[in-house]
A and B are shown apart, each in its own frame.
Chain A
Amino acid sequence: MADASLFSIFMDGVFLKNFLIVQFLGLCSFVGVTKDVKSASGMSGAVIFVITMAASVSFFLYTYILVPLRLDYLTTIAFIIVIAALVQLVEFVVRKFMPPLYRSLGIYLPLISTNCAVLGAVLLNVMNEYTFIQSVTFGIAAGLGYTVAMIIMSSIREWSSVVYVPKAVGRGVTYAFFVALIMSMSFANYFKVIPL
């Protein structure tokens, strides 16, 4: 996979292998924080940032520390610690230098350390043996794909608050899954027509 073009990696990450809808990574936030567009976009912004940072840091950690020292059996533990530390760091920096952004992202930042999307992107980079540029591209693409799905989902949920919904479906998790069902059909089939 080392010869995959950056464009196909990017399109894969955003649409064909969309993290939320096709690979089911990060579903907790997909049904949890998509009740309104504002919090969904805040969460997405934080995820793009952390995924991109984590993809580049973990690449150096894996290639220059874990592999030469033959510690690659510690990959999972090392990556989860890196992500947790990174999230903490991002929180400090944003709080100190960008207080308005901190107020809007604040509560979502800690949630990201247990978001499967971040760890999933980092692990998939290692499994696909991507180079540094490819890893970062995949990280950005995964973050953008996450954003696309979150924004569509939250827009539909916010907009359809005036629509009649049966009581057994409600407006919570079950409703979110029905919306996701319709979204996944379009993602799985519509984007197949783009030749890559």
Chain B
Amino acid sequence: MADRSVASEFMRGITKDNPIFGLVLGLCPTLAVTTSVANGIGMAAGTIFVLVGSNLLVSVLRNEIPDTVRIPIELIVIATFVSIVDMVMEAFTPGMYASLGVYIPLIVVNCIVIGRAEAYALKNGVFYSLIDGLGVGTGFLLMLMLLGGIRELLGTGGINLFGMQLIDLVSTLGFNPIGVMTLSPGAFLTIAVLMTMVNYKRILKAMRGA
């Protein structure tokens, strides 16, 4: 890979290796915490920290880690960073911590993190592993914001970001909130429709190319 640049490595995490629609990894937190944009941002921030930290450390240690025990070692590295996130969020953002609940410690088993450590950080240098972590993390952030935005907008009739009411359809348009969008059926509906749209675009592209 001689032609790779920092920008292309970063963008790959958002487009081709997008964690949700490209790699289909890390679905549990994606659906569970996206009841609002703010929750999505909080979850993604925690995941980005863990992703970048574990990618860096695994990449630094990649020549020292014996191949046979690499998965337990990766898990311990990841669990260490998750514990840091867990304690920091509990101390500084107690409201966010309460609404994300059990999903914060569950970043440990988020397939995105261990997937990137396995597939990228073990084979690449420290700098590119950092860029890869940031890129995939940003892709994850954008997806969580998109899902959270759709569900919050339809489910509550507005978007409320950290105490500021950005959009309010209830008072301006008389929109009637669809409460089920913030419950589990709303999560499955949103992701199913978004995935159908992505598939449809891919099919159109393939037909044009053929």
Contact = CB atoms under 8 A, between A and B. Distances in A.
Interface stretch (A46-54, A89-97, A98-106, A165-173): A165-173
Chain A contact residues (Cβ within 8 angstroms of B): what range?
35 or more
Interface string A71-92: 0011111001100100000000
A185 B27 contact: no
Contacts of B31: 24, 27
Contacts of B105: 75-76, 119, 123
Nearest to B204: A168
B199 A114 contact: no
Interface in B43-96: 72, 75-76, 79-80, 82-83, 86-87
A26 interface: yes
13 contacts: A24-B27, A28-B25, A73-B87, A81-B72, A114-B114, A119-B108, A123-B102, A168-B197, A177-B188, A177-B195, A178-B188, A184-B188, A188-B185
B41 interface: no
B79 A76 contact: yes
Interface in A151-196: 166-170, 173-174, 177-178, 180-181, 184-185, 187-188
A144 interface: no
A56 interface: no
A168 B111 contact: no
Given A24-B184, A116-B109, A184-B185, 9 more contacts: A25-B28, A77-B83, A119-B109, A168-B199, A173-B195, A177-B192, A178-B192, A188-B183, A188-B184
A21 interface: yes
Interface of A: 21-28, 31, 73-77, 80-81, 84, 113-116, 119-120, 123-124, 127, 166-170, 173-174, 177-178, 180-181, 184-185, 187-188
A80 B109 CA distance: 9
Contacts of A169: 196, 199
* 9 closest Cβ pairs, A-B complex: A177-B192, A181-B188, A168-B200, A24-B32, A27-B27, A77-B79, A174-B195, A184-B184, A24-B31
B106 interface: yes
A23 B32 contact: yes
Contact of A77 (B29, B32, B76, B203): B76
Contacts of B189: 181
Contacts of A116: 28, 106, 109-110
B167 interface: no
